[in-house]
Structures are given as structure tokens and as C-alpha cells.
Copies of this chain bind each other. A is one copy, B any other.
Amino acid sequence: RINGERLWQSLMDLAQIGATPKGGCCRLTLTDLDKQGRDLVISWGKAAGLSVEIDQIGNVFMRRPGRNNTLPPIVAGSHIDTQPTGGKFDGNFGVLSALEVIRTLNDNAIETEAPVEMVFWTNEEGSRFVPVMMGSGVFAGIFPLEVAYAATDTEGKTVEEELLRIGYAGEARPGQHPIGAYFEAHIEQGPILEDQDITIGVVQAVLGIRWYDCIVTGMESHAGPTPMAMRQDALQVSTRIMQEVIAIANASAPHGRGTVGMVQVHPNSRNVVPGSVKFSIDFRNMTDAAVDEMDAALKTFIQQLAGETGLNIELKLVSHYPAAPFHPECKEAVRRAAQQLGYSHMDIVSGAGHDAVYMSMLAPTGMIFIPCKDGISHNEIEYSSPEQVAAGANVLLHAMLESAGV
């Protein structure tokens, strides 16, 4: 079993860097604070005897050799960058539980067959630079290094210059690093485990995501003198699409998700019938085929609505992330670990994107979820208890040992 107190202490120590008054953490990717966080985690890895490899996008791998070092390593990790008003656990828990696994192997002088590694990926959050999951995306060849390098923050600074500035533009080519299997422990970021009073979520897949912008164009007119029948009210038509987004997701239970999170009304004046409305749509589902069905249902609805109302309705795909079903062996390894350790557990899906999505395209991948209070994340009040954190790390330990071989 891992040392729960040591793991908790490391989580609290790392959260000091960028600590916020409300108990959260603000450590945006590639800032001075991120550098301090990276330096601290690397110093812990070195103290645990690990060798360090940094690639050109700043992903950091730390290695504990096995008996047979020609085998690809069993890797665990996540990210240490946070949201602007982030918490102590999102990402950090996955990285530090991997460190705790290695410390536990050292404490017990356990030799593994394959080497064991911990990793933290650059810019998972995407708060400062888009796209999200940047380090793992470049590593998996989803987008080129040059595209990631050219991404700018609101001040116009690029990823490349910030990586160089903080000294984390490494030498290794991203993706050239072998991975035997990848495990990521993470807080659930949702309400299910807590609601069901379950300790461990055996993650089956990450939902596929499709993001759109929808723009409805009608005709601006004065709210007083324009009779109802002579209006081309862009908001009124938009509300019908917004409701259909929810209806489509409800019709695709239990894994369908539909969200309109962002709305912009023009000219946004109390006594003007809106001339145009732009809003976001977020569709998620268990398989790419299921997301395609939601997409098709939405497009059919919109086409009909445009015909019926005469308004122009534009639907633009902003980005998409394929569904990532996890590897049967990794899922089984997580499930068996939870069973052996006597933790209550259930199958669950990840509604949120994670670095594990891209890793699953390269290697057998699995994820371990622990509950978080009220399902809240991306918030300074994000919280999991010491017991929950320790349980997740114990499952990670056992799953990795099974994969690496002892």
C-alpha cells in the first residue's frame, strides 16, 4: 500500500505554488509558477532516483528502470497546470499518485519487470493556450509541434518562447518515447461516484466531443413598433435550437450530453428584437457513431427550422475529440486492483477530456477515477479527501504492478 500521508503532503506542498486565497491553485501553463511546480516535481523524482527526459513540447518523463529495460515502460501521470481558478487535485493528483507509486516501490525495494515511469504533460487545461491537451496531442501526432509552438496567449506570447524562457523546451522529439501502457488517475469531475457512494471508478472510455458555434441571423427591429408577426427574432429561433440540443442529448441516455454554455446576443439591448445570436453547442457521447447521430439529428432540425422561419442558421464545427474507449487489459487491471484492495468500485465513463484520450491512440490505456466533493472541479473549492486520494493511488500501484510484472 502507498503512503497516504506522504501523498497528501506532496499534494499540499505542490498546491502552495500558485495558492489562491480561497484554497485553490492558479498555476497557468508555462508561467513562472508552472516552472516552480515543474522544478519541485522533478526534484522529488530525482530524490526518488529517477532519470529525467524532457521533450520539445515540455512533456517530462521520469524513469525507474526495470529488470528488462528493453521492454517499453509502464507510464502513469497527468498534468500539473491548472485553471485560473483551479483546485489542488485536477491533474496534480494523477502526477503525484504516480510519484507515490514509485516511492512505494522504492520503500519496499520492489523490482518490476518492465521499467516504470511517471509523466506530466504540458498544457492540458488550455486556459492560457489553445488547444487543450496540447502536450499529449503533440506527442500523439494529432497536431504538429509547429502549430503548438505558434499558439499565443492573450498578451501575444507564444508557447515556444515561453517554453524557452522557463527552460522547458527539451531535446527529445515528441512521440519518440515508447509507452507500454498508460494509466491516469484523476478526480471524477462529476457527481456520480459521490452520489452512489463508490470509492473507485473503473473508467471505460472518454466520451467523444464535438464543439460547434451556431449563428442565427434575423433582423434587428424596435421592440415597440414591430408587430409580433413581422419580426425575424434571432433569439426566439435560437431558443428552439437550444432546447433541441438538450432533447437530442436526453434521447441518447445515459451517455449523451448536450450543453449550450455560451450565448452572445446582438445588439443586446432591452428594446431591440435581436438581429443575430451566436451560441456554443457541446455534444458528447460514448462512441463516435453516437456523436455522429446527434450531429445528424441537430442538422436535420436546423434545416427544418431554417425553412420554417426563413432565418439564416449557420452551424460551424469548432473542434472535435474522438471517443476514446480504453483497453480491456487496462480496464481489467484497474478493476482487479480495486477488488483486491477491497474498495467499492463501478464502471464509469469520463465525460471530460484528458491526456489519456490521446495516449489511448498510441498504447493500451486506462483511467482511475476517485470521487470529488459535489462533483465540483475547475473551482478553488475542488476537494477529495485524503482517504479518497490514497485509495486512487493504491489502485494505481496495483494496476501498474500487474502491467509491469514483478
Instruction: Write the residues of chain A forming the contact surface with B, with a CB cutoff of 8 angstroms.
Output: 188-192, 195, 207, 209, 211, 221-230, 233, 235-236, 239-240, 242-243, 246, 249-250, 253-254, 256-263, 265, 268-274, 280, 282, 284, 318, 350-353, 375-378
Q: By the criterion CB–CB under 8 Å, are B263 and A225 in contact?
A: no
Q: Contacts A259-B271, A261-B274: A222 and B378 contacting too (C-beta < 8 A)?
A: yes
What's the least CB distance linking A144 to chain B, in Å? 24
With A and B bound together, what is the CA distance between A350 and B377 in angstroms? 51
Min C-beta distance of A369 to chain B, whole Å = 9
From the candidates B233, B242, B249, name the one contacting A228 in the complex (CB within 8 A).
Answer: B249
Q: In whole Å, how far is A398's beta carbon from the nearest beta carbon of chain B?
A: 25
Separation of A378 and B267 alpha carbons in the complex (Å): 12
**Most chain B C-beta atoms within 10 Å of own C-beta, residue among A190, A195, A256:** A190
Residues from chain B with Cβ under 8 Å of A233 in the complex = 246, 259
Q: A227-B257, A235-B263, A236-B242 are in contact. List 7 more A-B contacts (CB 8 A).
A: A190-B225, A191-B221, A222-B352, A240-B243, A259-B271, A261-B269, A261-B271
**Sample of 17 A–B contacts (CB below 8 Å):** A195-B230, A207-B224, A222-B377, A223-B259, A224-B352, A224-B353, A225-B351, A227-B254, A228-B257, A228-B258, A235-B260, A236-B242, A259-B271, A261-B265, A261-B271, A262-B270, A263-B268
CA of A404 to CA of B261 in the docked complex: distance in angstroms?
A: 61
**A265 touching B268 by the CB < 8 A rule?**
no
Q: Kindly list the 4 A-B residue pairs having the minimum CB-CB distance in the complex, ordered from nearest.
A: A190-B225, A224-B351, A225-B351, A224-B352
A190 touches B351 (CB 8 A): no
Q: Which of B246, B262, B353 contacts A268 (CB 8 A)?
A: B262
Q: Smallest CB-CB separation from A191: which chain B residue? A: B230
In the assembled complex, which residues on chain B have CB atoms less than 8 Å from the CB atom of A376? 221
Query: Chain B: which residue is nearest A252 at the CB level?
Result: B228
A258 CA / B235 CA spacing, docked (Å)? 12
Interchain CA distance A262-B265 in the complex, whole Å: 7
Which one of B191, B256, B261, B268 contacts A272 once the chains associate, using CB atoms below 8 Å?
B261
Contacts of A242 in B (CB 8 A): 235-236, 239
CB–CB A261/B223 < 8 A: yes
B-chain residues with CB within 8 Å of residue A222 when the two chains form the complex: 189-190, 351-352, 375, 377-378
**Residues of chain B lying within 8 A (CB to CB) of residue A207:** 224
A28–B242 Cα distance when bound, in Å, is 38
Given A265-B262, A280-B270, A282-B270, are A209 and B224 neighbors across the interface (CB < 8 Å)?
A: yes
Q: Are A243 and B236 in contact (CB under 8 A)?
A: yes
CA distance A239 to B242 in the complex (A): 8
Min distance, Cβ A328 to any Cβ of chain B, angstroms = 23
Name the residue of chain B whose CB is nearest to the CB of A377: B222
In the complex, what distance in Å separates the CA atom of A250 from the CA atom of B269?
21
A96 shortest CB reach to chain B, Å: 21
Minimum C-beta distance from A341 to chain B (A): 24
Cβ–Cβ < 8 Å partners of A271 in chain B: 211, 259, 261, 282
| B282 and A189 form a contact (CB under 8 A) | no
A254: chain B residues within 8 A (beta carbon):
227
Decide: B261 and A270 in contact? CB cutoff 8 A. Answer: yes
Assuming the A-B contacts A236-B242, A242-B236, A270-B282, are A225 and B350 also in contact, with contact meaning beta carbons closer than 8 angstroms in the complex?
Answer: yes
